[in-house]
Amino acid sequence: MLISVILTKQRSEQVIEAAKGLGEVILEQVGTLDSQGIKDVLNSAARVASDILILDLDIGAGRDIVASLQGFRIARPHTRIIILAPDKEPGDVILSSLVGLGIYDIVSGPKDTDWGKLVRDVLSSKPATYAKAARWHTGHFLNSAPAKEQVIIEERPAGVVTIAVAAIGHGLGCTHTALSIASFLARSGHSVAIIEDSQRPALGFLCSVMKARDGRVEGSYTIHGLDIFPSGKSAAGDNSNYDSLIRKIKTGQYEYVVRDLGVLDELKVRDMYRADSAFIVASAAKWRWQELIDKIDFEFSIIFPLASQNDIEDLSFYAGIKGTALPYCPNPFSKDNDSLFLKLLAPILPNRKRKKSLFGLSLF
């Protein structure tokens, strides 16, 4: 199971050790937070497809936690939420409000108790029901004044969305960029696969080094919630690894498939046009402009890893080529460039709209 943890420093070591013993910790926040910090970290947690969220009430103000958890509950209705409530007693208005949100897994005890054992016990048991949490529910709620209901309408692309990534030459970061895009989508809560069709396969070795678990379908491996299909021997002739995996892709019910195409050639250009969105990875270095000019296709977006803004401006001014600089980030599974990928992928991401409702009826 995939676990996100938001903890104070005092309990972090015990709880994280317990969580790692029973699952994989994919989001980790340790320390106290102010109001905006609580909101930000729970927004980040909502973008991660975790099965369980463990949250320590001592991270900050209870009112801020309740308000932010309400938003998290809407975004992730099926994620199990476990609340650590040190030194709390029945009648606490914060815990009553959380039970009112449908959060029933409440772990209480003295501050100096063995929180690792308590967390192991609750993770090993079935999710709590209201009957178990009823003693915390006083019927009093924070911000109990009636408010107009809001309905979130999400417009999603139909079918599997394919994203193709190819590079102008070897060693420019095609695989790294493809992994970064796929990782961003997985962190955003989508089911994602990355399929390798590069001339220099590398993902099989990555899966071996990282001791990846088996993915959701045969032949795939999972790293950080992302299914990886390394280049296989099943593809022959002009058939790509992707073509041979079409049936498995449908079986996996993926929302997004990212294709690592390697170096651009005539066959790869065909694959780029078949995709819903396509990116060319190139160097913004002046001595490599010629190879970009020779192969450029303005139908595709261009990404320049490690380029400075001055490099991008020079390329635009002298060669008339526009693109996006991808800042230095050696770990493709990092969230450092999430804001950039959010903009680049906006046309193919779900469109969320809020509409007010009246008397419980949605207004469309």
Element (H, E) at 14: helix 9-22
Domain presence at residue 361: no
- Is the domain of 140 the same as that of 171? no
Q: Quick one: pLDDT at residue 239? A: 57
Neighbours of 73 (CB within 10 A): 18
Chain-centre distance of CA 143, in angstroms? 31
- Is the domain of 112 the same as that of 179? no
CA dihedral angle for residue 249, residue 252, residue 253, residue 257, rounded to 10 degrees: -50
- Is the domain of 221 the same as that of 123? no
- Judged by average pLDDT, the poorest of 138-142, 143-147, 188-192, 194-198 is 143-147
Q: Which residue has the tokens 């048991």?
A: 125
Average pLDDT score over residue span 39-66: 90
- Is the domain of 298 the same as that of 273? yes
As for how many domains the chain has, the answer is: 2
Are 107 and 128 contacting, i.e. CB atoms less than 8 angstroms apart?
Answer: no
How far is 21 from 314, CA to CA, in rounded Å?
A: 52
Q: Quick one: pLDDT at residue 277? A: 92
Q: Quick one: pLDDT at residue 340? A: 92
Q: What pLDDT band is residue 235 in, cutting at 50, 70 and 90?
A: very low
- Is the domain of 266 the same as that of 342? yes
pLDDT surpasses 50 at 241: yes
Q: Quick one: pLDDT at residue 362? A: 44
Q: Quick one: pLDDT at residue 92? A: 84
Domain presence at residue 362: no
How far is 44 from 72, CA to CA, in rounded Å?
A: 9
The SS3 assignment for 89 reads coil
Q: Which domain holds residue 335?
A: 155-352
Q: Quick one: pLDDT at residue 237? A: 45
Q: What pLDDT band is residue 157 in, cutting at 50, 70 and 90?
A: low
- 172-230 pLDDT per residue, tens: 999 999 999 999 999 988 889 999 998 898 998 999 998 889 888 888 899 988 999 99
- Is the domain of 120 the same as that of 192? no
Of 93, 114, 147, the residue that ends a domain is: 147
- Is the domain of 132 the same as that of 166? no
pLDDT surpasses 70 at 355: no
Are 177 and 326 contacting, i.e. CB atoms less than 8 angstroms apart?
Answer: yes
Average pLDDT score over residue span 318-327: 86
- Is the domain of 162 the same as that of 101? no
pLDDT surpasses 60 at 352: no
Q: Quick one: pLDDT at residue 364? A: 43
How far is 262 from 240, CA to CA, in rounded Å?
A: 12
Of 123, 147, 171, the residue that ends a domain is: 147
How far is 50 from 2, CA to CA, in rounded Å?
A: 5
Average pLDDT score over residue span 57-74: 90
- Is the domain of 195 the same as that of 306? yes
Neighbours of 364 (CB within 10 A): 7
How far is 341 from 344, CA to CA, in rounded Å?
A: 5
How far is 170 from 266, CA to CA, in rounded Å?
A: 16
Domain presence at residue 209: yes
Task: Say which residues have a Cβ less than 8 Å from residue 263's Cβ, sequence separation at least 6.
Answer: 166, 167, 168, 169, 170, 174, 198, 199
Across the chain, mean pLDDT equals: 84
Q: Quick one: pLDDT at residue 55? A: 95
Neighbours of 284 (CB within 10 A): 22
pLDDT > 70 in the chain, percent? 88
Q: What pLDDT band is residue 332 in, cutting at 50, 70 and 90?
A: very high
Average pLDDT score over residue span 163-170: 93
The domain that holds 322 is classified in CATH as 3.40.50.300
How far is 248 from 358, CA to CA, in rounded Å?
A: 44
Which residue type occupies 350?
Answer: P
Exposure of 40 by Cβ count < 10 A (0-12 exposed, 13-18 middle, 19+ buried)?
middle
Domain presence at residue 132: yes
Domain presence at residue 363: no
Domain presence at residue 59: yes
- Is the domain of 235 the same as that of 127? no
- Is the domain of 136 the same as that of 211? no
Element (H, E) at 324: strand 324-326
Q: Quick one: pLDDT at residue 116? A: 93
Q: Which pTM was predicted?
A: 0.55
Between the alpha carbon of residue 63 and those of residues 92, 138, 229, the distances in Å are 12, 16, 44
